[in-house]
Amino acid sequence: MNAEQQNVEMQLGEAVHEGILGLPAQPKGLVLFAHGSGSSRHSSRNQFVARQLHEVGLATLLFDLLSESEDAVYENRFDIDRLADRLVQASAWVAEQPELADLPQGYFGASTGAAAALKAAAQLPETIRAVVSRGGRPDLAGEALPQVVAPTLLIVGGADAQVIELNCLARERLQATTELAVVPGATHLFEEPGTLFQAARLAAEWFTRWLIPT
């Protein structure tokens, strides 16, 4: 399913943040992406996942969590509170757009972005219907984990042993419906042939299951 690509600008905090909105015909829901450290809306991996979500009728929003000046400060890339706050503000922006306001929202987070997604979801229990983490560090969400009510899927690579362990620890603290999916042979960035596709399909199935009203 082809999706119309639109460049958008969002006022988040004190700065304007650029994003890419992917809109399939008659979208059934919207997934906001939270990229990992040092990445951006141009992440080829997240764009690949977004295209798979378009195939099942979901709109996507990839945007820069940090302004250019903020991203220049390395420590900001690991400021989970700041990143989560941007997601919360982006969800509010979505709710103000007539063509998007009625769409159920979910979060897709990669690496440190997964912690931000979970922390933001904990703050928006009535808004965020589902969360997917790919190669994520959900453990960095800390005390927010037990407060998450959105069904959460943790996708990790089978060859990413340390991150598997960290995801298992985070899963024990999550009170929401949670599943851990291990993609065989995948390392942290899912660079091995076919592994990113497997992760994208798992995400599409999860969002279809929990995000789209029956």
Query: Has residue 131 got a pLDDT over 90?
Result: yes
Give the pLDDT band (50/70/90) at residue 129.
Answer: very high
Which single residue is written with the structure tokens 């420590």?
A: 75
Q: Where are the alpha helices (DSSP H) in the chain?
A: 44-55, 68-71, 80-95, 112-123, 161-173, 195-210
Type of residue at 103 = L
Instruction: Give the integer Cα–Cα distance in Å for 154 and 109.
Output: 10
44 or 201, which is more confident: 201
Query: Has residue 71 got a pLDDT over 70?
Result: no
pLDDT at res. 65: 87
- Exposed, middle or buried, 61 (CB in 10 Å: 0-12/13-18/19+)? buried
Secondary structure class of 94 (helix, strand, coil): helix
Structural domain spans, the chain: 3-210
27-41, 62-76, 91-105, 185-199, range with greatest mean pLDDT = 91-105
**3.40.190.10, 3.40.50.1820, 3.90.1150.10, 3.40.50.720: which CATH number matches 3-210?**
3.40.50.1820
Query: Has residue 78 got a pLDDT over 80?
Result: no
Quote the mean pLDDT of the chain. Answer: 92
Query: Has residue 213 got a pLDDT over 90?
Result: no
CB 112, CB 86: distance < 8 Å: no
pLDDT at res. 14: 83
Secondary structure class of 71 (helix, strand, coil): helix
